[in-house]
Amino acid sequence: MDKLKRVLSGRDAEEPSGLAEVIDATSLGWGTRVKGFIACFAIGCLCSILGSCLLWIPKKGLVLFAVFYTLGNIASIGSTMFLMGPMKQLKRMFEPTRLIATIVMLV
């Protein structure tokens, strides 16, 4: 379990002790990260489902769908930043093997 926490938080390699103390003092605890992930992912799923339901409203349905579905996708993708941190998330998104998928998703 500790190895999983280190991998998801971006601390695979050993760090100098002074830097490790600063990172530990400024980072979220594991329980807080999991709670943030679950909350953000649930909000993202709710927005996506709500957007799909609002699609059938006459005249404004398409606009509401686009707004809520986009917010739902952003929240769902952003929820993983709680687990691994924003910088590691961005580094992994722009790795050569994931670059095409990242560009398609952003476009």
Name the burial class of residue 82, with classes exposed (0-12), middle (13-18) and buried (19+) by CB atoms within 10 angstroms of its CB. Answer: buried
> pTM score > 0.75 for this model?
no
* 71 vs 73: CA distance, rounded Å: 5
Domain limits, the chain = 15-106
Other Cβ atoms closer than 10 A to 40 = 19
Provide the residue-wise pLDDT of the chain in tens; the chain has 107 residues.
666 666 666 665 555 556 565 556 557 788 888 899 999 999 999 999 999 998 888 888 899 999 999 999 999 988 988 888 888 888 888 899 999 998 988 88
Position 67 scores a pLDDT of 93
Q: Which two tokens stand for residue 61?
A: 């349905």
